[in-house]
Structure 1
Amino acid sequence: MEMALVSAGAVALLVVLLAAPARASNEEGDALYALRTRLLDPNGVLQSWDPTLVNPCTWFHVTCDHASRVVRLDLGNSNISGSIGPELGRLVNLQYLELYRNNLDGEIPKELGNLKNLISLDLYANKLTGTIPKSLSKLSSLRFMRLNNNKLAGSIPRELAKLSNLKVIDLSNNDICGTIPVDGPFSTFPLRSFENNSRLNGPELQGLVPYDFGC
């Protein structure tokens, strides 16, 4: 009887150990499926997103690395609508977030600041509102940030000047106000990156405390 109990316990432990990796590898799938539940998808581009699979690496528009970690989400120009939601902040290995030219609305989640490996953030040509989250200043690997052609308001967070790897920014065609930072990478960005924001008052003056006129 004692041997039977030991064997049963060993079997139970083995089942738990075998199940753990599969569950861990599905964390990113859970996050992506939570996104899917927020979206309207009239063209069926997300119909391959099956939450019963071990991980989402077989889903269309999702790219994984050799370790089955999601590194790219390509849903640009897909005619989807709805909100982005905070769950994308759980895709901590993501390098490319491509959601441009859709009908997405609502605010940019502050949780996107958790995507420390993100290289490209392309949310342009949607209907996004609210302000640019200060948390995006934590994206130390970011090289491309394109938020143009939305309905974003508020000032440009000065914290974004800490993004030393940022090569391209486009905030044009929004409702951004205040002044344009001049520190860090902002010293290299052309003014066309900020055009068609009627309440934006041009670059800050060197040596003066920034003041957000009109915000």
Structure 2
Amino acid sequence: MAYRALFVFVALTIVTSLLVLPKARGNSEGDALSALRRSLSDPDNVLQSWDPNLVNPCTWFHITCNQDNHVTRVDLGNSNLSGHLVPDLGKLEHLQYLELYKNNIQGSIPSELGNLKSLISLDLYNNNISGTIPPSLGYLKSLVFLRLNDNNLSGPIPRALSSISTLKVVDVSDNNLCGPIPTTGPFEHIPLSNFENNPRLEGPELQGLAMYDTNCS
């Protein structure tokens, strides 16, 4: 009987641990999105389905996952959200689309977004984001669309963005950027209208760059 009781105890322990493990282990993508939710004010309850107790966030509204249950899209454009972005977003390593346009998001762009190596589209336009454009965005070698227009961004346009060969659209108009406009790489084909209404931008950079103060702030 003692052996039988021991067997039952061990079996129950294993079953219990298997049931508890997913929540204890958590999901890094779910944790990252939960951190974002905590940082945002959501008067219209568009994030109501974001339940941090679920093993992964693929059943949440405004989230798209691939067949391996990795988050590939966050679609929260025009959702009446306020608050700020969080460094945890850099953990969404399979993310392709980060759509947070037309909200009231404030604060800065986390440099950790440079970890999103699969990102195709970064749409943060029409918010109240301030601070500088992180040079780390130059690591986004799959990026095609970068729309940061209609914010309160300051500082220079990082020349690191010139190394993104996939980049087709850059719009940083209606900010407070300063310094020269890059002209190499993808910037050869970006219209000047996408840089307008930045009173401190000094125009396209010239060969040698000697006349420009690239340490503007």
Q: TM-score higher than 0.5 here?
A: yes
Change (3 A) 1:171 1:6: same
Separation of aligned partners in 2, 1:209 and 1:159: 18
Separation of aligned partners in 1, 2:120 and 2:66: 15
Q: Find out whether 1:96 has 2:97 as its counterpart.
A: yes
Separation of aligned partners in 2, 1:33 and 1:54: 12
Deviation (angstroms), 1:187: 1.0
Q: Find out whether 1:177 has 2:178 as its counterpart.
A: yes
Unpaired runs of at least 5, structure 2? none
Q: 2:23·2:53 contact (CA, 8 Å) conserved in 1?
A: no
Unpaired runs of at least 5, structure 1? none
Q: Scaled by the length of structure 2, what TM-score is found?
A: 0.90
Q: 1:164·1:184 contact (CA, 8 Å) conserved in 2?
A: yes
Q: How many residues are paired up?
A: 215
Q: 2:156·2:215 contact (CA, 8 Å) conserved in 1?
A: no
Q: Secondary structure of 1:140's partner?
A: coil
Change (3 A) 1:50 1:173: same
Deviation (angstroms), 1:206: 2.4
Deviation (angstroms), 1:211: 2.3
Q: 2:37·2:47 contact (CA, 8 Å) conserved in 1?
A: yes
Matching residue of 1:61: 62
Which shows bigger deviation, 140-149 or 1-10?
Answer: 1-10
* Matched AA of 2:99: E
Separation of aligned partners in 1, 2:207 and 2:4: 79
Matching residue of 2:162: 161
Report Cα offsets for 1:43-63 as digits up to 9, x if no partner.
Answer: 000000011111111100000
Matching residue of 2:202: 201
Separation of aligned partners in 2, 1:71 and 1:60: 13
Structure 1 segment 1-40 matched on structure 2, within 5 A: 26-40=27-41
Which shows bigger deviation, 20-29 or 56-65?
Answer: 20-29
Separation of aligned partners in 2, 1:140 and 1:214: 25
Report Cα offsets for 1:136-176 as digits up to 9, x if no partner.
Answer: 00000000000000000001111111111000000000000
Report Cα offsets for 1:17-54 as digits up to 9, x if no partner.
Answer: 77666766722111101110110000000000011111
Q: Secondary structure of 1:71's partner?
A: strand
Separation of aligned partners in 1, 2:140 and 2:25: 24
State the superposition RMSD in angstroms: 2.3
Percent identical pairs in the alignment equals 60
Separation of aligned partners in 2, 1:94 and 1:133: 18
Q: 1:73·1:96 contact (CA, 8 Å) conserved in 2?
A: yes
Matching residue of 2:118: 117
